[in-house]
């Protein structure tokens, strides 16, 4: 019995190692580390930054359901496991939803984008909710919806120095700062907190309710990806 157990356990370990090796071999950050950089990774989401020169390629790899946000105008070519090719044209500021897929990719032009990969299904990983007003509803001047579906909402926030946003709520979310800025956040309870954001910074936020004011000299410009 002991020997049988050792054999079974050994087979299980080999299977786990084999699965891990296969998954790693199909991870874009492993397949093409010069193109894909991991900017954030937690149980809910992984954020990749893609920065590629024209002609750079990534061999076959996988993505779960994800959002592509283009930081520049670009064209990319995708080749699936059967060899069929498609071309994607992206405009700076555009957000595109893509279902889980397996493909090779190549930059036809210089390419700069963010990929927000969702982990698990909506049922498997529920976004923590905060109760309060919708920022887009209470402050449409500063919040603009770029993309929305049953899994995510992508919002762009832009406010000049001194401008305020009334109290509102977000579910779990990720931010990407386009520019340096300083913002004072006020919460239903507790003291206000000032936060300095740096251009290119990617930050995870648990669900929260707050009001905000840009207190630095710079305009605040932030991409917000809310999980549903």
Tell me the pLDDT tens digit for each residue of 47-94. Answer: 999 999 999 999 999 999 999 999 999 999 999 999 999 999 999 999
Give all domains of the chain, ordered by start, each with its CATH number.
25-118 (2.60.120.10), 135-227 (2.60.120.10)
pLDDT confidence of residue 24: 54
Place 123 in a pLDDT band, splitting at 50, 70 and 90: low
Tokens standing for residue 98: 């893509």
Q: Give the single-character DSSP code of 129.
A: P
Place 15 in a pLDDT band, splitting at 50, 70 and 90: very low
Beta strands 173-177 and 202-205, pairing class: antiparallel
Place 110 in a pLDDT band, splitting at 50, 70 and 90: very high
E strand residue ranges, 81-219 = 85-90, 95-98, 101-107, 111-118, 143-148, 152-159, 164-170, 173-177, 181-186, 193-197, 202-205, 208-214
Mean pLDDT of the chain: 89
């Amino acid at each position: 019995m002991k020997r049988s157990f050792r054999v079974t356990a050994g087979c299980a370990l080999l299977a786990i190692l084999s699965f891990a090796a296969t998954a790693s071999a199909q991870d874009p950050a492993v397949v093409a580390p010069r193109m894909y950089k991991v900017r954030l990774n937690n149980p809910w989401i992984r954020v990749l930054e893609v920065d590629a020169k024209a002609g750079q390629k990534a061999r076959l790899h996988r993505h779960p359901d994800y959002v592509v946000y283009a930081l520049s105008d670009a064209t990319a070519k995708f080749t699936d496991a059967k060899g069929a090719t498609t071309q994607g044209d992206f405009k700076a500021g555009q957000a595109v939803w893509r279902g889980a897929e397996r493909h090779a990719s190549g930059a036809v032009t210089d390419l700069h984008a963010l990929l927000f990969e969702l982990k698990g299904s909506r049922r498997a990983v529920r976004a923590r909710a905060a109760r309060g007003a919708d920022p887009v509803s209470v402050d449409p001047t500063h919040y603009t919806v770029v993309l929305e579906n049953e899994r995510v909402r992508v919002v762009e926030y832009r406010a000049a120095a001194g401008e305020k946003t009334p109290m509102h709520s977000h579910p779990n979310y990720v931010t990407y700062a386009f520019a340096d800025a300083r913002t004072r956040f006020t919460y239903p309870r507790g003291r206000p907190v000032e936060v300095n954001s740096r251009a290119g910074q990617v930050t995870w936020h648990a669900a929260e309710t707050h009001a905000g004011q840009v207190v630095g000299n710079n305009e605040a410009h932030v991409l917000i990806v809310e999980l549903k």
